[in-house]
Structure 1
Amino acid sequence: MKVVITGASGNVGTGVLRALAADGGHEVVGICRRPPAPGPPFDGVRWHACDLGGDNAHDVLGEALAGADAVVHAAWMFQPIRQGERLHRTNQTGTATVVEAARRAGVPHVVHTSSIAAYAPGGDGPVPETWPTTGVPGSVYGVGKAEVEAALRRFVAENPGTAVAVVRPTLVAQSAASASFLALFFDPLVPGWLIRQVREGRVPLLPLPAGMRVQLVHADDVGDAVVRILRRRAAGAFNLAADTLTTADLAGVAGARAVPVPAAAMRAAVGLLWRARALGMSPGWFDVGTRSPLVDTTRAREELGWSPRFDSLDCAREQLAGLAGGTPGPSPALRRDRLVEDRRAARLT
């Protein structure tokens, strides 16, 4: 297949690239704002530099999508979260541009990487793909993902000949995303030495939101699911997650004991620090982590034959080790210095 991937240099995109390389024989075209230098997992990828919210996006996408069998839309701008108009232009408007370019080029298969943050909070247990997708209230990310999914449903109704799949992963983990996670969520307040102390088991008590339960999924498992979708030209939504962890499980990764803190109190503290620009994590991002529902992955397992190779503890251990080491990724999108520069530039505009 000829597969075009937007956001191919990012966290999800690199997982898809590795899975396509393992599958073998595909022509892969990558689209991102800053194409990376040669090297794994980017070897063999033909790159197009493109800001999906820019004026030339239609032209760049038209060239890249010519003759494509599928487009995997994995691009999403996370920062600057304080500049909603800029995020909307890249994310919501950019997605519409990608889908329209695919329609014009006659691409028969569109795969969009959404998130469990597109779901409404709630559910007594893991929710299926039919759970309401109104987004986590107060989260720019969750509401944005929900808006894009609504637009995709309208596109499907108007273009029944195009197969459209939506993957909804939980937090996507891999060591190479660690430096970007530090820049996006923990800078500038949380020092690296403290994360190293946590990882080395030298922090005996770890404050965590009371009652929190989370699922993780590895970027390589997301990539594997996407390739399975591409092979089958599958359509519809697919939840992607590994098993469920409790606060005790999360603290245990660091050899610590969880100290339950009321979520409302912790959210208030996050809000104060965010407003003071001492923390990259906004209250909305805190809500994504604490209010997104657990998800049922039966459909992906039965229809795609998919199952995660990494369990959630594997993901948590790898991510904590990466955060402690400040592990940079192989592209500008996964580098701490570049993201910090972007944030500083945004303050000046």
Structure 2
Amino acid sequence: MHIVIIGATGNVGTALLRRLHAADEVTSIAGVSRNGPDRTGEPYENVRWHRLDIGEAASAPALVEAMRGADAVVHLAWVIRPNRDNVALRRINVNGSRRVFEAAAAAGVPHLVYASSVGAYGRPDRVAPGPGPQDESFPTCGAPASHYGRQKAEVEAILDEVSTSHPEMLVTRLRPGLIFQEEAGPEIRDYFLGALAPRSLLRAVARMRVPLVPWPRGVVTQAVHTDDVADAYWRVIQQHAGGAFNVAADPPLGPDTLGTVLGARRWLPVPVPLVRALVSAAYRLRLEPTDPGWVDMAVLTPVMSTERIRAVVGWEPSRSTHEALRAVIDHLGDTGGLGNSRHRSRSPLR
């Protein structure tokens, strides 16, 4: 099998490269990235690299050529920075995704796999979801105040259009929860914590037992280790499985789970409006890069059922939520990171 990965130097891309290298059925891999990897070694070797910016309209013909002969194309490319520049975000996330989907159809790719997210979910009435895990039929309208949620939902709608226009192409979308691995720790810190969390503090927190964990009241989310997400991608490719699949580990991520990982015996329930106000103030003052839309998205997204992916392709996470969370917490204070300088830590703080 020949597999093409769009966005192959990111968090999931690096793990998927590792997984594909280990699969006997995979004979060749091509990676599409704006700059490609800027270091050698695993998992970036033995990959044919195409340096393309999917946000540029001029990249369309080269994208088609890069995909010709592929048995499957996996579209992972997505940016969440610069957080304040919606034009730049839309150029890559929305317009770039449409360009990838249309190029796959033009190249005659038999299987297109898209990296959606739990963030695509949301209720049109903007009411928090009820209790109990929700399957893949839950509405995908995103959180209106979240650029990430809005764009993930919009791209799913574009994917529906392309799928309807090209019924000969099998289309799969994965909707994972928060995705963690050791190498992504510095990137995740810079994306979401910024200057409020110097590396020295994060290294100390990783080593100590935290007495009390503050947590937004009523918010429960999900996480999964990046290697397990990569395995999910490989399984749907290998088994030619189409449709939507939720992907998450157990147990759900709430105050109890975080408290267990940090060694805390108590948690402090914090009202969501207060959390949102604090995040909004810090964002306006440019103290940290997380806009309040991420809080809104956490409130509106459901706890997902993963029964479908387990039943259809036999996927099971090899690591619990505790292990995935521990992996990233232990490395939030690191330097270095993934295989492209755009994904590595740029914080000057120690």
Same fold (TM over 0.5): yes
Aligned partner letter, 2:28: E
How far apart, in 2, do the equivalents of 1:264 and 1:198 lie? 26
Give the equivalent residue in structure 2 for 1:308.
Answer: 317
SS at match of 1:245: coil
Give the equivalent residue in structure 2 for 1:72.
Answer: 74
SS at match of 1:167: strand
Question: 1:88 deviation in Å?
Answer: 0.7
Deviates more, 1:180-189 or 1:160-169: 180-189
| Alignment RMSD (CA, Å) | 1.6
Contact 1:185 1:279 in 2 (8 A): yes
Residues 251-306 of structure 1, C-alpha deviation per residue, up to 9 Å, x if partnerless? 22112232211111011100000111111111112233343211000110000110
* Alignment pair present for 1:183 and 2:185: no
Question: 1:202 deviation in Å?
Answer: 4.9
* Alignment pair present for 1:273 and 2:282: yes
Give the equivalent residue in structure 2 for 1:85.
Answer: 87
Question: 1:326 deviation in Å?
Answer: 4.4
SS at match of 1:144: helix
How far apart, in 2, do the equivalents of 1:106 and 1:275 lie? 46
Gaps in structure 2 of 5+ consecutive residues: 123-127
Give the equivalent residue in structure 2 for 1:238.
Answer: 245
Q: How does 1:180-329 map to 2 (within 5 A)?
A: 180-243=187-250, 244-256=252-264, 257-326=266-335, 328-329=337-338
Give the equivalent residue in structure 2 for 1:22.
Answer: 22
* Alignment pair present for 1:60 and 2:67: no
- Percent identity, please: 41
Residues 192-248 of structure 1, C-alpha deviation per residue, up to 9 Å, x if partnerless? 222223222254222221233222111111111111111122111000001113302
SS at match of 1:336: coil
SS at match of 2:61: helix
Equivalenced residue count is: 339
How far apart, in 2, do the equivalents of 1:242 and 1:232 lie? 21
Contact 1:176 1:330 in 2 (8 A): no
Contact 1:178 1:327 in 2 (8 A): no
SS at match of 1:15: helix
Give the equivalent residue in structure 2 for 1:134.
Answer: 141
In the superposition, the TM-score normalised over structure 2's length comes to 0.93
How far apart, in 2, do the equivalents of 1:157 and 1:63 lie? 23
SS at match of 1:30: strand
Aligned partner letter, 1:322: H
How far apart, in 2, do the equivalents of 1:20 and 1:287 lie? 36
Give the equivalent residue in structure 2 for 1:10.
Answer: 10
In the superposition, the TM-score normalised over structure 1's length comes to 0.93
Gaps in structure 1 of 5+ consecutive residues: 342-349
Question: 1:327 deviation in Å?
Answer: 5.4
Question: 1:58 deviation in Å?
Answer: 0.8
Question: 1:70 deviation in Å?
Answer: 1.1
Aligned partner letter, 1:54: E
Give the equivalent residue in structure 1 for 2:125.
Answer: none
How far apart, in 2, do the equivalents of 1:42 and 1:126 lie? 37
Contact 2:114 2:173 in 1 (8 A): yes
Contact 1:221 1:308 in 2 (8 A): yes
SS at match of 2:154: helix
